[in-house]
Structure 1
């Protein structure tokens, strides 16, 4: 190990390099965290002494460590599950999470927004299922504000780490399951046409239909916001066709609730007359009538992964892959069955 740094103040990164550990480990030792092995703690403490590290004006002792989470709809089931994952991970690091709505952020200039974030001491931003403007992204980059996106509506043009799930594989699994039940006329009601995750689910559906050598009627494919009214409107349209589908795959659980309601309003039963498959596996899936077959996204795990990635970016470490996908899983409940003969 080298002795005290000459001609400048030692940083956490320098201490970490001297001790052969990560920057977060050095931070844990400085904060007296118990989850550091005794031998590692001793090595870090020796490196702190050798490097002559001095916390800047005791800033570390009085600073409240926070990250900012920006979302489009705090009450959406998807968002609440992701937020649980972020806050659980933040609690382990003794950090706070401050939530902001995108429409509130949009009310100020990007420069003013980033100044407020810096003034409040926020150490990074997690953006959930919404899209920042190029101006906002540029302002954050210039302010060196770390950013991680969860299920971005479109992948940012700048270098931003993002987390999602294997949406295309989920679309394939849902479609293949319905084909295996005997369905041949399967509809797809996705999210916004510009949504990256929605397009991936659509591609999975189309690939599985092609593999099964089943034609796709363009009347059976539609898009709309990830909300229940989309499912209600599109469900009514689909069930009003001269040849309605026997099964529907939708972009999220909220849309699925709308499709089930559309069937009920037409005097149809789910799944006897129409099978419905959702996406996400939020609390809506188990509480719906009937309980919803759905593609589970590991939403809490995605939130926790995004938080840990944000800390790595904050500490100057590489985030790993630019876009990381966690595995989806088909959860079979009571909203699907063989088609009526």
Structure 2
């Protein structure tokens, strides 16, 4: 067979075809769960370029690399618990890294990963760069994204939560209590979860026949300080909101502090709802009503997917999304005053 270039690996064929390595593997191994169009495209690439089976790499270490953009608060603890549950069942160790949004640190981390040759990598919230994806793929180190910050590139395997439905449910809960002046504090504009929760909020108001008031949308950063600053602006409006949907629990804590500083009682003067249901929020005063995001279960699902890939098996689906759920505590109540 003549080819236009030297034979390609599965990872290279996947990149050219715009599909996952698992899909190319199915074609190469004669599996049936591939569309005719995709199969034809991959087979044409193989005819043109050839297919080179990579030499079997050295046996990976019994290690799962778990990498966070930052280790802050309860969020990484819940994630780590879920990864550890599955890793323990397979006699694997969990290694934890904190990139701190520093590109230099990220490069050093990747060099260490390539030396350690783990069974796979789970990247939490912020995905790695395209170059880092390529290096992991070339080294045949599986990668799964957990709660990705953006739509995964290259159809990378990922696990997330029902963020849109959570935003819808949170806002509907407040509407059901008679609130009409409902503010929202978003997360970072670039975060997929933040955008989805905001869309859920907008949909709930639209379905209730209420206009979207841009003045009631506070921009946050998923940090307590960001929630505090946004809440101060919202609660000082001439016609202040009667309820605030903070799109994560940290920002809800910021709303609590702002309300206290302004002499407002929760929930008598202001209802507050969060998102995540981290363990600490049940001990706030009053205990926080929130949307439960199953972080531990999400992490366990990501780890199971990673181990399937590490064994050379294709995934039944590349995207797993777990449901969110309303948890009603004491920070929300029927509206105490008529809205304008």
1:107 is matched with 104
Deviation at 1:222, TM superposition (A): 2.5
Q: Structure 2: how far apart are the matches of 1:268 and 1:250?
A: 17
User: Alpha-carbon deviation of 1:122?
Assistant: 1.0
1:209-239 Cα offsets, whole Å, 9 max, x none, are 0000011210111222111001100110000
Larger Rg: 1
Structure 1 residue matching 2:119: 3-state secondary structure: strand
Name the counterpart of 1:76: 73
Aligned alpha-carbon RMSD (Å) = 1.8
Cross-structure match for 1:242: 238
TM-score, L = length of structure 1: 0.79
1:266 — aligned with what?
A: 262
Unaligned 5+ segments in structure 1 are 1-55
Residue 294 of structure 2 is aligned to residue 298 of structure 1 = yes
Determine which of 272, 276, 282 is the counterpart of 2:272: 276
| Aligned position for 1:256 | 252
| Correspondence for 2:115 | 119
3-state SS of 1:158 partner: helix
Whether the 8 Å contact between 2:117 and 2:141 is mirrored in structure 1 is: no
Say whether 1:231 aligns with 2:233.
no
Partner of 1:289: 285
TM value normalised by structure 2: 0.79
Task: Number of aligned residue pairs: give it.
Answer: 281
2:74/2:278 contact within 8 Å kept: yes
Change (3 A) 1:107 1:314: same
Deviation at 1:284, TM superposition (A): 2.5
The answer to whether the Cα contact below 8 Å between 1:72 and 1:129 also exists between their aligned partners in 2 is: yes
Structure 2 unaligned segments of length 5 or more: list them. Answer: 1-55
Cα offset, 1:114, TM superposition: 4.0
Residue matched to 1:220: 216
Distance 2:82 2:255 in 1: 29
**CA distance in 2 between partners of 1:238 and 1:116 (Å):** 46
Q: Is the 8 A contact 2:120 2:142 kept in 1?
A: yes
Q: Deviations over 1:233-264 (max 9, x none)?
A: 01100001111110111111000000011000
